[in-house]
Amino acid sequence: MADLDPAKVVAAMGGPSRHDATFLRLLARGMEESQNPEQVVLACSMWENFRHAGVQEGWFAANGPEAAALSLHIADLLRRLPDGLLRELQASAWSRSKTSGEKTPYLFPEEMYQRACALDPHPETFAQWMDWAGRQRGDQAARVAQAWHKIRPRDIEPVLRLLKDAEARGAFGSALGYLAKVEQIDGLHPAARGARLRLVAGSALRHLQQKKPALAAEDLAEMSTLPQAQQGDGPAFLAALRFVVSAACGHSEQAATSRADVERLLGSGAAAAMLLFAVATASKQRAFGQLGSVQELSRTERETMDPIEVLGISQNATDEEIRAAYLLKVRECPPDRAPEKFEKIRDAYEILRDPRRRLRHRLFSADPGAPLASLFTDEVRPRRFVGHGPWLEVLKGK
């Protein structure tokens, strides 16, 4: 490594060096300081040899924390290598192992992490393994989380990972099981707040998709007992879900009552229709959430959604006419006297002053017989149903 003549070094030392643990340790440290990937690979090999020599010479136990630390260090060195080079080395190692039986575990990060966690099952050790696995393809992170949770069932990190993966797969039953464990470990953890409502809502939608309205009704009953479901627009969402469940069960009277509840809670027939449409679509029960046409809306509701109606201008108004209408409306409804009306006026002006957004709204306003579902492709929204809630995240994911 120092570009010295090997023969002269041997002569100066009075003979060749002993390849003992001390020598291997110094050689490994020297090689890993190089930025050359080939030297880093050799350093991994030397550290593995040092581990064997250290055990034989009594430096440390084969199953102690020192051996675990060495395995973690080798895994860290492997992460410095280019992915292509590491895959090439691993392929060659696999080929050699089939013919000669040679084992080279120091080329495989997963084996190093697995050994380290077996020897020293500390949360930080598992965390490093999890961090590496999270950057790999496939479900390696989930498998690491399962191994971590099996050995350390009171650690919350692997349970959170398993909860996230289960929800992403739509396995809401498993996700709720992991959530129960999170609540047992730390009931005040931020991930636990609101998660049950979100997961039960997802479970209800999944049961509706599977044509199992009776199970969806059980989910709905559980949701109704959760405090978060009573906040914001939660009651409106529950009523909309109750409408779809009742309709799927063939209970027409209950469905009609639930639909009326949605309209009452949102204060808008259009907003209610759009929410029912969203819930029915997410649960693949679209027949129960059919939307009418825009011309069926009241003038007040159309003004709420159509900026042209808000400013009282024509479809082909110029920029100057739009600005003049805006200033006139602001004088009629100043923010200090009519804040809600002013907000609608301001929003309408912000939409119409942008040519691209104005074009999108022109498509809506030009055809009063257009289906109300077209509102979902535009930027107009009924102003009442705007609150953030876990159930909205469920709908967005469907």
- For residue range 209-244, list pLDDT tens digits in order: 999 999 999 999 999 999 888 888 889 999 999 999
Q: Is the pLDDT of residue 154 over 90?
A: yes
pLDDT at 122: 94
pLDDT score recorded for residue 255: 93
Per-domain boundaries in the chain: 1-120, 194-292, 298-370
Contact call for residues 222 and 228 (beta carbons, < 8 A): no
DSSP class of 15: S
For residue 385, which phi and psi values (nearest 5 degrees)?
Answer: -95, 80
- Domain at 298-370, CATH homologous superfamily: DnaJ domain (1.10.287.110)
Cβ contact 68:115 at 8 Å: yes
Q: Which of 228, 224, 252, 248 lies closest to 238 in space, CA to CA?
A: 224
- Residue-level pLDDT at 288: 79
- pLDDT over 70, % of the chain: 80
Question: Following DSSP, what letter does each residue of 13-24 receive, concatenated?
Answer: HTSPPP-SHHHH
Q: Say yes or no to pLDDT of 381 above 50.
A: no
Whole-number average pLDDT of the chain = 82
Residue 348, pLDDT above cutoff 60: yes
Write the pLDDT tens digit of every residue in 196-209: 999 999 999 999 99
Tens digits of per-residue pLDDT, 263-278?
A: 899 877 777 888 888 8
pLDDT at 281 over 60: yes
Region 113-134: what's the mean pLDDT? 95
- pLDDT, tens digit, 9 for 90 and up, residues 48-63: 999 999 999 999 999 9
Block residue for tokens 């059919």: 290
pLDDT of res. 8: 58
- pLDDT for res 272: 83
